[in-house]
Structure 1
Amino acid sequence: MELRFPVGFLWGAATAAHQVEGNNTNSDFWLMEQLEGSMFMEPSGIAVDHYRLYKGDIGMLAGLGLNAYRFSIEWARIEPEEGRFDESAIEHYRDMLVACRVYGVTPIVTLHHFTSPQWLIRAGGWESAETPMRFARYCEYVMRKLGEFIPYSCTINEANMPLAITKIMKRHQLSESVAQVGLNTEIKKKMETYQAELSKSFGLPYDRIHPFLSPLSEKGIENVFRAHTEARAAIRKSSPQTKVGITLSLYDIQSVPGGEAHAEKAMQEEFLQFIPYLKDDDFFGLQNYTRMVYGPDGMLPVPADAEKTQMGYEFYPQGLEAVIRYVAKHLGLPIIVTENGIATDDDDRRIAFIDRALAGVHACIADGIPVKGYMHWSLLDNFEWQLGFSKRFGLVAVDRATQRRIPKPSAFHLGRIARANALITN
């Protein structure tokens, strides 16, 4: 039996500009990908050429039966130099939004998805007290130009990610002496070369380079969330009809006996402490991929016998329901699932993941939780940051030699669910 979702439910898929557009030459990530000794497996290059092929991609999404598309506007394109806004870039994103309107697709626009302009990093990056103002100025400009086309805006993607990176780095520092002894000489040399090249390229000492995806101080993390609140105010002033939210990456945090305190601390750090910044939003963008389990000594490894994805995550689609319920308990806002998915070459497992995740979403809605949409990550197989093109999250495969799009069975499966609900509710 098909699950019945509410009238107006948003069925979609998501992308991020840098991962799909290609040639994002003014961004910090583009610079970091090109350097000698780069930590990136490969540069993004033309990516999957979405900057040129967006109309066909949006038409394909609609043709599958989906009615929403979450994508990001690239700050480094809009404002390639501080205070200089590129009108041709605005026109490009206007054309994307018009294409969404033509195809009956609701756009959910993210204004910052990990990448920043190079000039921002040279100006102190996300540790600078001026960054929230600069981000709000950019958001105000975009929304003044394009807000009439944007019903939903996410200010910052996974705003809690710098905190997660900071925690990982601290864990590594605790065992730094062991790591240094065990580190391959060639890898150490590559890291040193990369750090030197990065310093030269940005004209800053290595420890003063602060992109979004880097360890940030408490002040830096506060800057990220101040950027959200200042952007929210700017958006509401420029485009009052646009609903404003943020997205956070949240594990389904669990514990075994003795791990309860660790689990409580983790959720406090990753979600609860940020509620004061979020409570005045119009919606919450929830992103979940797996669970994290804590024991008496801290985080437990993924069980050896568990099914794992290409990312090394435990295959755990039921985590989405648990996280929705947790967020709903603590934050009284409508929820949009802005990312949920799996990296795999076994598309049958992607279909199984979607079905189990959607069953959880449906159960939450049946219990009165206002979940307004589900955006699968991702629409296309794309550039997965430091991991290059090696991980495949897409509903649609891409032949990168020809840029031909090849929808997978999972794309048609999710589209059938969306179409069935459209027939039921219309």
Structure 2
Amino acid sequence: MGHRPRPVVLIAAVIATIVAITAPGIPAALAAPPVAGSSAPATLPRDFDWGVSSSGFQSEGFSPDSNWRRYVASGATHDRVGTSVDFRHRYRGDIALAKALGVKVYRVGIEWARIEPRPGVLDRTEIAYYDAMIAAIVAAGMRPMITLDHWVYPGWVADRGGWANPETPALWLRNARRVVDRYSHFHPIWITINEPTVYVTNELKTGAIAAPEVPAMLDRLVHVHREIYRYIHRRDASAMVSSNVAYVPTVEPVLDTQFVDRVADTLDFIGIDYYYSISPANTGAWHALTDESWLAPVSADGLYYALRHYSRRYPGKPLYVVESGMPTRDGAARADGYRRGDHLRDVVYWLQRARGDGVNVIGYNYWSLTDNFEWGSYTPRFGLYTVNVTSDPTLTRRPTDAVSAYRRITADNGVPTGYRPTRPAEYCSLVAAPASCVEPVH
């Protein structure tokens, strides 16, 4: 049975075309290679936010009826979600791990499907869980970053057509206002909708919407973001609210027109999720669109170009890296030899280089504190702490080498001025082409 074309496939085709055009014989004057170690990383301000990210469905386990639980149950994914890493019952231990890292921000999701399992019926036990979890983050000295929608909604909303139903925005807003009313006194950072363009892609992938319904879903996401932004600020005038972007190398400016440009006046900062890189010498970014994300290149200097892109596109807006990390296959060493701790230090170096060049980046979250359910599979591992969900019934959190690296980073507020990346910058990075190739960082 055939599948509808997926936007990510079209994106991959665009990237491949650009690389094919650019790669042969780039003029040296336009593609001068970045000079490694030519500048020291800038000192970050004392109020810079270091954090960790997670999501509800991916980490909580024991998921109630939802669009994603139904999709997993259909057999379309490699693994069942099951217990995941059982954040639902082990959140206090994970919060303690985050506190020990020295981070200031802990990003979590409040799952609509968990607190409203049936229309108009609230699950008081699950609300009490979220109350205790958010309070525990605050008690540990961290600021919650709360995601209102991380691609998951109740099964009864799916029964009514999900985002294809024009009544869904009103239902969504009813739930979102409930969450805001309950937790705004903690002054969290708010993420309204996680990666909107990928959200739409996933709805296509799962069959929740058809291709002709894409514009309507985007319109509805824009509408609910704008409405809840205004509502949050009525409750907390000083709130920081955004919607994080899944940065897709090279074609991001086109994707920005679909959502970010339409809500830019209701973003207190630009939230960026950055993972993968691309260059003429390494075009393996397409692996990020397959079940082998650990083969995709993750050159750390790409973050510099992504940050520079947004500082130019939305001048005056602070930038916050809401997600950044590196996948491995079941925790095994990557084929390129990149270790998680080295990658983390390198990414922070390039963040500090961007800050030194005038980019107002105010925070960085690592994705993720622990391994989790990566939307269909436990094979990709992103955690600072690895958890063998499919083979270890104790779900023991085991530290990777990046734990000690992150502790040192938070203690020192970045990497030291003498630090130099473990990998050279890409020759003619295409992360923010053409600028990232024509204007390489030195």
Q: Same fold judged by TM-score > 0.5?
A: yes
Q: Within 5 Å, which residues of 2 pair with 1:70-85?
A: 70-85=107-122
**Amino acid across the alignment from 1:63:** A
How far apart, in 1, do the equivalents of 2:355 and 2:253 lie?
A: 25
- Residue identity in the other structure for 2:333: D
CA separation of 1:242 and 1:94: change in aligned 2, threshold 3 A:
farther
Q: Indicate if the aligned counterparts of 1:20 and 1:383 stay in contact, CA closer than 8 A.
A: yes
Distance change in 2, residues 1:86/1:241 (3 Å): farther
* Mapped partners of 2:60, 2:219: distance in 1: 30
The one of 150, 162, 166 equivalent to 1:125 is 162
CA distance in 2, matches of 1:366, 1:2: 7
Give the residue type in structure 2 aligned to 1:340. Answer: S
Report the counterpart of residue 387 of structure 2 in structure 1: 398
Contact 2:52–2:107 (Cα < 8 Å) also in 1: yes
Unpaired runs of at least 5, structure 1? 170-194, 196-206, 254-265
Give the 3-state SS of the residue equivalent to 2:387 in structure 1. strand
Q: Distance in 2 between matches of 1:289 and 1:423?
A: 20
**1:265-323, CA deviations, whole angstroms, 9 ceiling, x for partnerless residues?**
x33431134312122221221001113569xxxx965599xxx9744322222211111
Partner of residue 46, structure 1? 83
Match of 1:111 among 119, 123, 148: 148
Normalising by structure 2, report the TM-score.
0.75
Describe the superposition over 1:190-215 as per-residue Cα deviations: whole angstroms up to 9, x where unpaired.
xxxxx9xxxxxxxxxxx6x339xx99
Q: Does 1:229 align with 2:226?
A: yes
Letter in 2 for 1:369: V
8 Å contact 1:162–1:221 — kept in the other structure? no
Give the CA RMSD over aligned residues. 2.9
1:141 corresponds to 2:178: yes
CA distance in 2, matches of 1:165, 1:22: 20
Which of the pair has the greater relative contact order for Cα pairs under 8 Å at 6+ separation?
Answer: 2
Confirm whether residue 286 of structure 1 aligns to residue 267 of structure 2: no
SS at 2:386's partner residue? Answer: strand
1:99 maps to 136
Tell me what 1:315 maps to.
298
Q: Secondary structure at the match of 1:155?
A: strand
Question: Equivalences for 1:5-404 in 2 at 5 Å?
Answer: 5-35=44-74, 38-164=75-201, 209-210=208-209, 216-253=213-250, 266-274=251-259, 275-292=261-278, 302=285, 310-331=293-314, 332-344=316-328, 345-346=332-333, 349-386=339-376, 388-399=377-388, 400-404=392-396
Shift of 1:327: 0.9
Please state which structure has a larger fraction of its residues in helix. Answer: 1
Distance in 2 (CA, whole Å) between partners of 1:378 and 1:341 is: 7
Point out the more displaced range, 85-94 or 44-53: 85-94
Which moved further from structure 2: 104-113 or 341-350?
Answer: 341-350
> Aligned partners of 1:405, 1:93: CA distance in 2, in Å?
22
Gaps of 5+ in 2: 1-39, 417-442
Aligned length: 363
Q: How far does the alpha carbon of each residue in 1:351-391 deviate from its partner, in whole angstroms, 9 at most, with x for none? A: 222122111211121222221111011110111112x2111
After the TM superposition, which parts of structure 1 deviate over 6 Å for at least 4 consecutive aligned residues? none
Q: What percentage of residue pairs aligned between the two structures are identical?
A: 28
Measure, in 2, the Cα distance between the counterparts of 1:421 and 1:63.
Answer: 15
1:85 to partner: Cα distance: 2.5
Name the SS for the 2:50 alignment partner.
Answer: strand
Q: Which amino acid is the alignment partner of residue 9 of structure 1?
A: F
Task: Quote the offset at 1:138 in angstroms.
Answer: 1.0
| In 2, Cα distance between equivalents of 1:30 and 1:163 | 17
Greater CA deviation, 69-78 or 231-240?
231-240
What TM-score, normalized to structure 1?
0.78
Report SS of the residue matched to 2:339. helix
Give 1:2 deviation, angstroms.
Answer: 8.1
